[in-house]
């Protein structure tokens, strides 16, 4: 990059260009576990068309994704799997929590539901709703794009450590 920067004349700051590229080419990993996952299918589907936001390259491999889109309830049993996937993603990585369940456990105040994925992974944008309308999810994606473009500091993501109660997967 440095070499390249010397040989070109940029009309703006380099990191702005990088951010512009990142924000318009998000590669989401759709972590759809429940009803919200079905609504997420609508977001990707023909009517709402997430592709308009440059995020149509859906990847199911964490190694190829930079946006974790958690759509649905995460149970205690699923939490270690979620953390594992988050750890495997390449930086910079972003997380959108779609729906009441992922954000807070939703109306499942119950023995087997994790009360919010922010207990185990750092979340950038919470989208409310049960399920959120596709419009709301698109708004969440746009909010994240704004955050990337404006270099919003993300102390929650920088300081993240795996929660002590989850063992690393060997």
Partner 1 sequence: METVNTTSSPLESLKRDFASGESSVESFANSSAAYGSLKFLTTSTGDDVLEVDKDSVPAVFQQFKDSGRFDFLMDVTAVDHLNQMAGRQKRFDVVYHLFSSKTYARLRVKAQVGEGEAIPSISPIYRAANWFEREAYDMFGIHFSGHPNLTRILVHHEFVGHPLRKDYDADHQQHCSSAMPLHFLPDPNFKSEGRQLLPLNIGPSHPATHGTLRVMAEVDGETIARANVELGFLHRCFEKMAETHPYNQVIPYTDRLNYCSAPMNNIGYCKAVERLLGVEIPARAQAMRIVLAELSRIIDHFVCIGANAVDLGALTGFFHLFTYREMVYSLFEKLCGARLTVSMTRIGGMAQDAPEGWFDDVLETCKKISEGVDQLDGLLTGNKIWQQRTQGVGKISAEDAIAWGYTGPCLRAAGVGLDLRRAQPYYGYDQLDFKIPVGTTGDVFDRYLVRVAEMRESLKIIEQVCKNMPSGDYTIRDKSIVLPEKSEVYGNIEGLMNHFMLVIKGLRPPVGDLYDATEAANGELGFYLVSDGSGRPYRLKVRPPCFAIYQSFPDQITGGLLADVIAILGSMNLIAGELDR
Residues at the site binding partner 1, with contacts judged by CB under 8 A: 31-35, 37-39, 41-42, 45-47, 60, 72-73, 75-81, 84-85, 107-115, 130-131, 133, 165-167, 169
Q: Which does 13 bind (CB under 5 to 8 A by kind): partner 1, ligand SF4, none?
A: none
- The reply on whether position 32 binds ligand SF4 by CB under 6 A is no
Burial class (CB in 10 A: 0-12, 13-18, 19+), 41: middle
Q: Does 36 bind ligand SF4 (CB under 6 A)?
A: yes
Instruction: Name the nearest CA neighbour of 88 among 31, 23, 32, 150.
Output: 31
State which residue, 72 or 140, has the beta carbon closest to partner 1: 72
Structure token pair of residue 102: 């992922």
**Binds ligand SF4 by CB under 6 A, chosen from 28, 30, 62, 72:** 72
* Count of alpha carbons within 13 angstroms of residue 134, beta-carbon side: 13
């Amino acid at each position: 990059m440095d070499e390249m920067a010397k040989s070109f004349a940029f009309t703006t700051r380099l990191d702005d260009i990088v951010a512009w590229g990142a924000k318009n080419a998000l590669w989401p990993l759709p972590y759809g576990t429940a009803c919200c996952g079905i609504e997420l299918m609508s977001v990707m589907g023909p009517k709402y068309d997430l592709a308009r936001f440059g995020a149509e390259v859906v990847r199911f491999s964490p190694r190829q994704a930079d946006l974790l889109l958690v759509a649905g309830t995460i149970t205690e049993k699923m939490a270690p799997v979620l953390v594992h996937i988050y750890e495997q993603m390449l930086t910079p990585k972003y997380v959108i929590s779609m729906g009441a369940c992922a954000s807070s456990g939703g109306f499942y105040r119950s023995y087997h539901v994790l009360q919010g994925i922010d207990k185990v992974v750092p979340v950038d944008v919470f989208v409310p709703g049960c399920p959120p309308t596709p419009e709301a999810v698109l708004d969440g994606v746009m909010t994240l794009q704004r955050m990337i473009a404006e270099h919003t500091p993300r102390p929650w993501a920088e300081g993240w450590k795996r929660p002590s109660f989850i063992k690393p997967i060997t």
